[in-house]
Amino acid sequence: MLVSNLIFAGNVVAPVFIIIFLGIILRRRGIVNEQFNTLTSKVVFNVALPAMIFKELSSFPLNEILHPSQVLLVVISLLVMFLFSWIVSAWLCHDGRDRGAFIQGSFRGNFAILGFALVRNAYGEEALGGAAIVLAIIMPIYNILSVIALTVPLQQEKQIEFVRILKTVATNPLILALLCALPFSLFDIPLHPIFSQSIQYLAALTLPLALISLGSSLSFHSIRQDRKLTIAATIIKLVIMPCVGVAAAVLAGFRGQELGILFFMFAAPTAIASYIMAEVMGSNGRLAGNIVLVSTIASLFTLSLGIFLLRLFNYF
């Protein structure tokens, strides 16, 4: 039983991190570079990932995969972890630039890329529809809370432009893909084979490209700096957040695939987008990058352990 659970956890996590480490190797050998990462991120975010979300959601009956209790659990859990990270940051951080990067790195996970890959490995293609619904819930929350985290600690409360935030959320390609898929899902409208196959090709680009780009974008040069804050944020993201979120989900009655998707959402390492936003908005980009790097590497072990324990207690 123990051995089979360990093998299952390894089979879910290992393929994802093999591709990530391939990205690291390709970067070190000069086969890919920063320009590749930038262009790949744009292709994945604007084309491939929206295509995958549309593909998965358009073929799923929405009333069977969207549960109000799941929405409520995800929203409340993210808000609680955001507030917890905010309180901890006030204790650990003495600079507003550090606080913003710390808060965002503690709650914003890489579910869109790494989480989707893990869901597919664990449950197969048919589970990606449920994962896409969770992604549609958390994307607006991530964007709004990230802007607040990166502006308020810098004493720029008056510069928070909520209209601009809402516009950014409304024009997010992932949100638009969800909205476009809704009629096909609600009214069971079939796609013409030509369009269906084209979307399938685009969707297939998502995970390989994104994981290689993720690996090649990780930088080890500044990892020794900001160690205290980096470790603290990583512990919050990879240990405290999944423990709190999964415990709440279990108490709420979630089991099997639904619980597994929520686990991957809570336990995913910090998203690279947190580094990009920190740089653009004047926060501590170096700290944000360190949190992404350390949490991504550490998640190889925390994700494996989490899957093993959930399987051991028959929750997964």
For position 157, what pLDDT does the model report?
A: 47
Q: pLDDT by residue for the chain (316 residues), tens digit each? A: 677 877 888 898 999 899 999 999 999 999 999 899 888 888 988 899 899 889 888 877 766 666 789 999 999 999 999 999 999 999 999 888 999 999 999 999 999 889 999 999 999 988 888 898 898 889 889 988 988 898 888 765 445 566 766 776 778 787 888 889 889 888 888 888 999 999 999 999 988 998 898 888 887 777 777 899 999 999 999 999 999 999 999 999 999 999 999 999 999 999 988 887 887 778 898 899 899 989 999 999 999 999 999 999 999 8
The rounded distance, in Å, linking the Cα atoms of 310 and 105 is 25
Is 28 buried (19+), middle (13-18) or exposed (0-12) by CB count in 10 A?
exposed
β-strand partners of 109: 270
For position 62, what pLDDT does the model report?
A: 65
Cα separations in angstroms, 70 against 56, 195, 202, 258: 18, 31, 29, 9
For position 64, what pLDDT does the model report?
A: 60
For position 63, what pLDDT does the model report?
A: 63
- The domains of the chain, with CATH numbers, are 2-312 (1.20.1530.20)
φ/ψ (deg, to 5) at 314: 60, 30
The rounded distance, in Å, linking the Cα atoms of 145 and 157 is 13
Residues 246, 247, 252, 256: is their CA dihedral positive or negative? Answer: positive
Nearest to 53 by CA among 107, 161, 133, 120: 133
The rounded distance, in Å, linking the Cα atoms of 42 and 38 is 6
Residue with tokens 């994700």: 303
Cα separations in angstroms, 92 against 87, 145, 161, 241: 9, 20, 28, 18
pTM to 2 decimal places: 0.86
Number of CB atoms found within 10 A of residue 194's CB:
8
Residue 190 DSSP code: P
For position 165, what pLDDT does the model report?
A: 67
Which positions ≥6 away from 101 have C-beta within 8 Å?
150, 229, 274, 278, 283, 284, 285, 287, 288, 291
- Answer whether 131's CB lies under 8 Å from 189's CB: no
Tokens of 201: 């090709």
Where would I find the H helices in the chain?
2-28, 34-43, 49-58, 62-65, 68-92, 96-107, 116-123, 128-151, 162-170, 173-186, 193-217, 227-235, 241-251, 256-267, 272-280, 285-312
